[in-house]
Amino acid sequence: MRKIGIGIAGLGTIGLGVYKHLEGNRRLLTERLGLELTVTKIADLDPERPRTPMPPRELFTNDWHDLINDPEVQVVVELMGGIKVPYDFVTAALEKGKIVVTANKALLAERGKEIFALAAEKRVPVFYEAAAAGGVPIIKALKEAFVANHIRSMHGIINGTSNYILTRMSQAGLSFDAALKEAQAAGYAEADPTLDINGWDAAHKAIILASLAYGFWVDTNDIHVEGIQNITAADIEFAEKLGYKIKLLGVVKADEACVENCKVEVRVHPTLIPKDHVLASVNGVFNAVAVNGDVVGETLFYGRGAGQDATASAVISDIAEAAVALEIPRPNFGFVPHGLYAGCKPIDEVITPYYLRLAVVDRPGVLALITGILSEEQIGISSVIQPESSEEQTVPLVLMLHSAAQGRMNRAAEKIAALDCVKCPPQVLRVETFA
């Protein structure tokens, strides 16, 4: 039976999970593939660090070039993290003709266009199922199962840390800071959670999904990103009263007016989702992606988006596919560009309904001033919540607004913020109707 040599670069949490399950499920993989997957070499900066299970010492090197230059390594697995060194590693592997597997979403979001151009030039495939939504097989679905579909839209909860924080704020009434500390204590958030809470971890995944769905590589400068760090317990409470849940949502959506040659929305931000929508019930560290195709209709992918085992499962599926590709070469190399769509829509042109929360002085005429500004920008009001006044000088005012272009909403928010009766920056959140 043919042996396929695997080289792993980076034996952190995910790398160790990949090694553990390759070894633990060796017989199952061999029976299913008719090939024997063997870890031949491991590159890690700290080979002596205790691990369970601990690979044989002779497999280790602290120089990733050794994986590239080892003729027994046919498939390299990049699990180092970061961008610069992984980019050098991946491009060196492609130049050498070695198939690449990576779980590095930041690398693909930032340098994917160059990587896949080189992969096509060298005719060497790159596999990356674990780079978006962890153990949820959304990449394979977009590349294969939905090949006959124009993708109308994708809505994804694709960051488990932010989803855990928002879930705890909703279910336990915690503040953002308290929920974040709980997530860190439970191991769901890093010591430095910046990329999770500022939206960019989800944005990297949204870029990959959008690029696959629409055939052009989305530039990071073209995507609108907001995080959850400014969501308050008051926002959670008001959303509940209005019939919504707040989730960090990745939205990838083509213009409804056309099928081809249209612009595509790519955005990540906190969003009010109707309670009766399936995504509103996705809680904790779980991920979900709802995909609407013009042929298949509505579909839903759900599961753990991070963690050692879920991510290792996706990486090993790519290793298995890479091993088969050595036997039967693939006609494409990870990404197929095409010109059926016209690029990204500027965020100022994106139209959604809005939630607007203000802290205002409790005096006559305030609501009239605010509604006057909204009227100037041609933004309609669907409902207003103003709790009964107490002894407080400043009271919350919540307005649900009809659909409007982001540019008009931004102008209205700036004018409202300049009013002397408004005491805090306006909280503006989008509402997704899924219509």
- Judge contact between 370 and 396, C-beta under 8 A: no
Instruction: Kindly report, as residue ranges, where domains of CATH 3.30.70.260 are found in the chain.
Output: 348-431
d(CA 144, CA 243): 37
pLDDT digits (tens, 9 = 90+) for 237-295: 999 999 999 999 999 999 876 666 789 999 999 999 999 999 999 999 999 999 999 99
Q: What is the mean pLDDT of the chain?
A: 95
Which residue, 421, 397, 392, 433, is CA-closest to 238?
A: 397
Whether the pLDDT of residue 164 is over 70: the answer is yes
Topology of domain 348-431 in CATH is: Alpha-Beta Plaits (3.30.70)
For residue 147, give the H/E element and its range. none
In tens, the pLDDT along 118-154 reads 999 999 999 999 999 888 999 999 999 999 999 999 9
For 178-227, write each residue's pLDDT tens digit: 999 999 999 898 889 999 999 999 999 999 999 999 999 999 999 999 99
| Residue 390 reports pLDDT greater than 70 | no
Would the pLDDT of 2 be above 90?
Answer: yes
Contact 414, 358 (CB under 8 A): no
Question: Pairing state of beta strands 36-43 and 60-61?
Answer: parallel
Given a contact cutoff of 8 angstroms between Cβ atoms, the answer to whether 77 and 129 are in contact is no
CATH 3.30.360.10 for domain 138-305: yes
Q: Which of 41, 105, 205, 247 is catalytic?
A: 205
Q: What is the pLDDT of residue 134?
A: 85
| Residue 351 clears pLDDT 70, i.e. is over it | yes
Fold of 3-135+309-327: Rossmann fold (3.40.50)
pLDDT confidence of 389, banded at 50, 70, 90?
low
- Does residue 205 have an active-site annotation? yes
Q: Which residues make up the CATH 3.30.360.10 domain(s) of the chain?
A: 138-305
Q: Start-end ranges of CATH 3.40.50.720 in the chain?
A: 3-135+309-327
Strand 244-254 and strand 36-43: the pairing is: unpaired
**If pLDDT is split at 50, 70 and 90, which confidence band does 114 have?**
very high
The confidence score (pLDDT) of residue 391 equals: 64
